[in-house]
Amino acid sequence: MLPAKPEDHETNTRLEAETIAKCTLNPKQEFAFRIFVKHATGERQQQLRMYIAGSAGTGKSRFIDSIRYFFKLRGEEERYVVASYMGIAAKNIEGITLHSCLNLQGLSRMKLHGEVHESMIKYWKDKDFLIIDEVSMISLHFLHSINKALQL
């Protein structure tokens, strides 16, 4: 991703404020969202690893919705993937399963070749963010599989 242009700062600030208001983020959600925006707009260059925890009903999905809304305002819906380990959870967040978006249907990364490998590279080419819902359901072994799959 390229660094943000100075003339974009005003626009980004306006879109950030509009998203916070529209999605009615609480102070903790707003804090996390502002960190995310700094990365999404190129103000921060290092890799973002963010863990949002909380019991049911604490607003984790609202935070994901704010990310969606922000990218929609920017016309950049292709920059992220929202995924979950379980199909039901993926459906609830209007996302996709991790198995599907990373082609983890029992194939090792070494076996991916030809059309499958090329389609994965094409799919992830413009993606900057993988947002995983229900991450607590994922084992260390599966996290390793995700890491390997993203090393296209």
Better-scored residue on pLDDT, 136 or 4: 136
Which among 151, 69, 25 is positioned nearest to 40, based on CA atoms? 69
Residue 46 reports pLDDT greater than 90: no
**pLDDT at site 74:** 95
Better-scored residue on pLDDT, 90 or 112: 90
Mark whether 48 and 84 lie in a shared domain.
no
Domain that holds residue 25: 1-75
Mark whether 81 and 150 lie in a shared domain.
yes
Alpha helices in 52-113 (DSSP H): 60-74, 87-92, 98-102
Cβ partners under 8 Å of residue 5, min gap 6: none
Q: How many secondary structure helices (H) and strands (E) does the chain include? A: 7, 3
Mark whether 64 and 83 lie in a shared domain.
no
Mean pLDDT to the nearest integer, 66-88: 95
* Per-residue model confidence as pLDDT tens digits over 104-131: 875 554 455 567 778 888 889 999 999 9
pTM score, two decimals? 0.83
Mark whether 50 and 25 lie in a shared domain.
yes
Mean pLDDT to the nearest integer, 91-113: 77
Q: What is the DSSP letter of 88?
A: H
Amino acid identity of 85?
Y
**pLDDT at site 56:** 83
Residue 145 neighbours by CB distance under 10 Å:
18
Domain count, the chain: 2
Mark whether 68 and 83 lie in a shared domain.
no
Mark whether 65 and 86 lie in a shared domain.
no
| 3-state SS, residue 127 | coil
Mark whether 90 and 116 lie in a shared domain.
yes
Mark whether 49 and 90 lie in a shared domain.
no
Query: Is the Cβ–Cβ distance between 95 and 133 less than 8 Å?
Result: yes
Q: What is the DSSP letter of 52?
A: -
Mark whether 71 and 81 lie in a shared domain.
no
